[in-house]
Structure 1
Amino acid sequence: MNNNKFLWATAICALFVPLAVHAQSTAPSTGTSTSSPAIFDGTADYRTFSIGINGGGLGAVSPTGGSNDFTKWKADFGYGAYVKWQLLHSLALRADYLGGKLTGNNDDKLGNGTTSNSPYSEFETKLKWTATLSAVATVANINWLHRKNFVQIYVSAGGGIAGYSPRITPVGGAEVDYKAGGKNIQELVIPVGAGLKFKLSEGINLDLGYTTYFTDGDNLDGYVHGSQKDKFSYGYAGLEFVFGKHSKPQLAFSNPAAILYDKLEAQKAATDQVQARLNAEQVTNDSLSANVARLTADQDGDGVSDFFDKCPGTPAGTKVDGSGCPLPVPEAPKVIEKVTVTEEDNRVVREAVRNLEFATGKSNILPHSYETLNKVAELLTTRGFSLKLAGHTDNVGSDSKNMILSKDRAEAVKAYLVGRGANPTRIEAVGYGETQPIASNKTPQGRQANRRVEFTIY
């Protein structure tokens, strides 16, 4: 079998294998799948990254444009690798590398029986590298007949750069470099391909494919001739290794139809369980309703059911206790005289605050404060007022000592007023330390204003 027929057979196999082998014949499960990822939960539950290595036949030929500028092409070995990111069930991005050698000559006769009049007899091109990025689309990924896919058909197209160096042999001459010194040529390439992928295990796939590379130049074979640009093809077989946890399925081989079926079955089973539980609860509720009706019957209308009523037949409107018996009639409430604080009362309190002084750093009340404090004590004893005393200090000294001093000073005022006949239960004494200044502590006048005990009568 000649080389031309060999590569054409590879292309036909990659493009036209029947869709009947698309899926493995596995009967749908009657149970609910608990391991399949949710169909609308993104790609987190799938394996999406993989790498592949492959090898196969390289030829300076394409199904769409013959063998470039020579009449006969030869099949040579090529090798490649790729990294793939599966975006969706049926769409991926793939970055490919390809290398190898391309050769050809003018041994075949033309269609009119003559040989080529080319000045060159043969060529050899080292394909040093080809770097491309392609979109890969999986055909018929959704399978409504079978649950598990183990074969997929894919097509791809993209773009990239190829680096190569041709050598040509003139008729009757010696082989020479197309570019002096064998310098590398870089050209834009457009790869278009198709293939089959077989799932060997959850992490390994067998990859068979065929790709034609359309170059943006006519120098691939070292001979610029005619208006058509050169092309080359790669038929390959390789292995793809999928990264990720073994428990996660491959996104590319997951069947959305089967996953959707599993989710619907799971929802139906859950709904059936809820309905069965509701039916059981309804039976229980009916029994409870009968018991509740018996327990809530209240013939005398006193709010206590007959089952617990120890005093049945209570007259309507009678207030009863928890056992259904009448409550004692309460005594008439005492009238409490409302106490009103007058402006004169507030003046007496303000005067006492102005005259109140303590020994420096202590809670001892200075004697000249007694007269106005006596008037406050008289208000408390004769008018029934309540009083709140709030002690404050400046910021001189530690926080803890100031808090204690402010509390002690408020308590000292309370003790003095109690000593003058005031009710101690109606006097509240609290200390705030230096936390509530009313003036700046940076001046003597401000610190003096902050050292105070505030009176509030009510």
Structure 2
Amino acid sequence: MSRSTAILVALASLLLLTWFTVALRYEPIESDLTERVKRALSANAINNIAISARGRDLTLEGEVARQVSVQRVAGIAADVRGVRSVDVSGIRRRQSLLDPNDPLHPRFDVSKIEKVGGDLSNPMSAATCQRMMARLAAARSVRFVAGSASPMPESYPVLGDLARLAYQCPGSQIVIGAHTSGIADRNADRLSLARAQAIEQFFYIAGITAERMQVVNYGNSQPIAPNTTPQGRAANRRITFDIVPFQ
């Protein structure tokens, strides 16, 4: 073998070794980035997004709730250490707050839902709004049709009062929390979440913008009573309202 041929063989071997090293290294990098971006999105209540990686460049696809902007999804992913670029052209926002084909989709008598409005020159602080909403929700519970996410007609006044309070603190976000008991019951979990989403939709019809609302499914992570009795489990199945100032 001539010297020039030996040099060419050595260079080819080096290039092949480099290619194998890069190829083997990319796979764990891509897996790690994908997992960390998934966790970051989940921490912001954004789930069911398909994430694919090509090196440090990510492509995200899927559907997000109406109140979640595509730019926000891109920003959360881009902030994860190691991500170089994020393509969110495959992300779309749901056009409705709830899927109309879902059997738990609520029904409303829109003619009985009063629109909120009025002077906002002296808005309430988030803390004041939180106290008033918590007091109102504790004194007058929202009731639903049995096994359904549709609010009962007698609950429209309290929902209207809650919406008016939310309107009075425009600089804050309303987090509507769905809570369940510690008993594993997928149907009960779905019903609890659907009822929280129904309240979100009621507020939206009343005039609260979608961007100001967020539904969070807490599941059984925040019990307020022991789950050892029917009364305790009933107390843990609830909907909460948290008022959070916009950052």
TM-score higher than 0.5 here? no
Q: TM-score range by the shorter chain?
A: 0.3 to 0.5
Q: Which has the larger radius of gyration?
A: 1
Greater RCO, 1 or 2 (C-alpha within 8 Å, sep 6+): 2
More helix by share: 2
Q: TM-score normalised to the size of structure 1?
A: 0.24
Give TM-score scaled by structure 2 length: 0.43
